[in-house]
């Protein structure tokens, strides 16, 4: 190992991280690929890419890229330009150029036609090899040095401005591309350490990291034995001021003092709530906060109660039968709700007005109290990363650190489920690659 530590590999471009963003960047280099190297801290490239979309690799989403902005929270407007320039259409064309046909499902999610993420990874790695780019695994970065003055002593008259110390030697480069991701699924090697190194060695501002696209654990969870049960297009409501800081003090409402609502699919898991409507909005929640679920979508409590009061008189059916047959709710869920309200042994015609109102309220505004959010081991993405105000959004460069670029999940951007995070990986990777290819010949001499 002492020999490796004294070795210096000189490349014009060093990409740190062989995840989705790093591989997409390398795939975009074309003939300049031989002037680049990808270094990966873990043993394999593309591990998390194989996990995307449950192994099926949800690449992006259909529709107009102009509509993508809302799927990145408050930060969407910051990346509007690159999302539209390097959009979902270009992403799909790129995949097809690799020999990976794509298909769009009815819900708008776009996948490889094979529904197998391994085909995406295999095609990307093939393109990268064609470009002449090496991938060196097991090269965990332990330090970065910005070379001041004349650059790193190197071959010929080229200058190298960054020196990375790794477990496999030193890598000197002019362009440094950080594509290490965040902290989600740390077992894959994604541990956020590179962000700590950027802060320590280059004084880069890092927004604190927290899990994104994470499930939510609630207090007194009554549906654990209904694990696997799903609901289409429920309404999630977060009351104004209900988000709680880690210490228990109220934070500003996610809707600026107003109640926040969103619609999407819900999944009961064994000890938690999941599904897109939960995952996409976990960033708005914290332990101690409350939220409500409307299992009947846009139907309000008064509307539901009014319907029941019309339907119930003279009816001999049970509440659970009415919920499953008339309202389209799962039978076991209907039985559980009736038991929770103590009306499972009644006929609907026997229910009082107060009982009907309570039943309608439970179905349209069932309240949950948050115990905790899922941790990084369960999260599909990371909130936080390199602070946006340091990054030039047109090309993902850091103006205060010439030659330094940050792409993908290492940036303080997290998108909703549905392919939005891989789309940002593609957009940011291509924006950075285009900028480097534009200037590489004159700046590397």
For 3-23, the pLDDT digits (tens) are 444 578 999 999 999 999 999
- The pLDDT score that the predictor gives to residue 2 is 43
Task: For residue 128, give the H/E element and its range.
Answer: helix 117-131
Q: What pLDDT score was predicted for residue 204? A: 97
| Helix H or strand E segment including 427 | helix 420-443
* Parts of the chain with a pLDDT under 50: 1-5, 244-255, 444-445
Interatomic CA distance for residues 272 and 301, integer angstroms: 25
Q: How far is Cα of residue 53 from the mean position of the Cα atoms in its chain?
A: 11
Who's near 352: CB < 8 A, 6+ residues apart?
none
d(CA 236, CA 262): 5
pLDDT of residue 189: 75
- β-strand 366-373 against 175-178: which pairing, if any? unpaired
The alpha carbon dihedral of 18, 21, 25, 28 has a sign of: positive
% of the chain exceeding 90 in pLDDT: 82
Supply 424's token pair: 């940002």
In whole angstroms, give the CA distance from residue 28 to residue 325. Answer: 54
* 155 Cβ neighbours under 8 A, 6+ residues apart: 10
DSSP per position, 313-369: TT----HHHHHHHTS---HHHHHHHHHHTT-TTS-GGG--HHHHHHHHHHHH-EEEE
**DSSP reduced 3-state for 154:** coil
Q: Is 31 helix (H, G, I), strand (E, B) or coil?
A: helix
Contact 113, 125 (CB under 8 A): no
State the CB neighbour count (10 A cutoff) for residue 63.
Answer: 12
Measured over the CA atoms of residue 33, residue 36, residue 42 and residue 43, the dihedral's sign is positive
Tokens 């297009």, located at residue: 233
Domains, the chain, in order of start with CATH, read 2-211+377-443 (3.50.50.60), 216-373 (no CATH)
DSSP symbol at 75 = G
Residue 76 main-chain phi, psi, to 5 deg: -60, -40
The CA-to-CA distance between both ends of the chain, in Å, stands at 32
> 318-361: per-residue pLDDT in tens?
999 999 999 999 999 999 999 999 999 999 999 999 999 999 99
Q: Can you give the pLDDT at residue 125?
A: 98
Residues 127-162: pLDDT tens digits?
A: 999 999 999 999 999 999 998 755 555 555 567 889
Measure the CA angle with vertex 358, ends 226 and 250; round to 5°: 80
Cβ–Cβ < 8 Å for 370, 216 = yes
| CA–CA distance, 142 with 165 (Å, rounded to integer) | 6
Take residue 17 and report the two structure tokens written for it.
């991280």
Measure the CA dihedral 113/114/119/120, to 10°. Answer: 30
Q: What does the alpha-carbon distance between residue 141 and residue 178 come to, in Å, rounded to a whole number?
A: 11
- Per DSSP, the three-state class of 377 is coil
Could you report the per-residue pLDDT of 230-248, keeping only the tens digit for each?
999 999 999 987 654 333 3
Pairing of strands 102-104, 404-406: unpaired
Which residue from 258, 261, 239, 232 is spatially nearest to 367, judged by alpha carbons?
A: 239
């Amino acid at each position: 190992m002492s020999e490796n530590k004294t070795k210096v590999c000189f490349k014009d471009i060093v990409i740190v991280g062989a995840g989705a963003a790093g591989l997409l960047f390398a795939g975009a280099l074309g003939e300049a690929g031989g002037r680049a190297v990808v270094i990966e801290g873990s043993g394999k490239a593309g591990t998390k890419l194989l996990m995307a979309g449950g192994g099926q690799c949800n690449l992006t989403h259909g529709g107009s890229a102009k509509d993508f902005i809302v799927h990145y929270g408050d930060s969407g407007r910051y990346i509007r330009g690159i999302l539209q320039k390097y959009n979902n259409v270009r992403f799909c064309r790129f995949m097809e150029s690799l020999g990976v046909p794509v298909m769009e499902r009815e819900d708008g999610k776009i996948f490889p036609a094979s529904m197998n993420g391994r085909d995406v990874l295999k095609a990307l790695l093939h393109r990268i090899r064609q470009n002449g780019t090496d991938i060196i695994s097991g090269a965990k970065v332990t330090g970065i040095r910005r070379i001041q003055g004349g650059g790193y002593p190197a071959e010929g008259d080229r200058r190298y401005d960054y020196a990375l110390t790794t477990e496999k030697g030193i890598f000197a480069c002019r362009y440094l591309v950080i594509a290490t991701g965040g902290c989600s699924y740390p077992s894959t090697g994604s541990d956020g350490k590179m962000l700590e190194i950027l802060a320590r060695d280059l004084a880069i501002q890092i927004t604190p990291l927290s899990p994104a696209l994470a499930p939510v654990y609630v207090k007194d969870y009554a549906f654990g034995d209904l694990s696997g049960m799903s609901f289409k297009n429920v309404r999630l409501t977060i009351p104004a001021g209900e988000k709680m800081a880690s210490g228990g003090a109220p934070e500003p409402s996610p809707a600026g003092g107003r109640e926040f609502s969103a619609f999407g699919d819900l999944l009961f898991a064994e000890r938690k709530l999941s599904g897109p409507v939960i995952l996409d909005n976990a960033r708005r929640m914290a332990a101690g906060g409350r939220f409500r679920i409307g299992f009947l979508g846009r139907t309000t409590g008064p509307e539901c109660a009014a319907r029941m009061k019309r339907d119930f008189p003279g009816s001999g059916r049970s509440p659970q039968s009415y919920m499953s047959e008339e309202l389209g709710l799962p039978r076991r869920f209907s039985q559980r709700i009736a038991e929770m309200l103590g009306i499972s042994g009644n006929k609907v015609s026997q229910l009082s007005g107060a009982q009907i109102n309570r039943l309608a309220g439970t179905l349209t505004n069932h309240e949950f109290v948050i115990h905790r959010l899922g941790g990084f081991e369960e999260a599909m993405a990371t909130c936080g990363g390199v602070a946006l105000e340091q990054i030039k959004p047109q090309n993902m460069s850091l103006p205060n650190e010439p030659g330094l670029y940050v792409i993908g999940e290492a940036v303080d951007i997290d998108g909703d489920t549905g392919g939005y995070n891989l789309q940002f990986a593609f957009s940011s990777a291509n924006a950075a690659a285009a900028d480097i290819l534009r200037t590489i010949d004159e700046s590397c001499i």
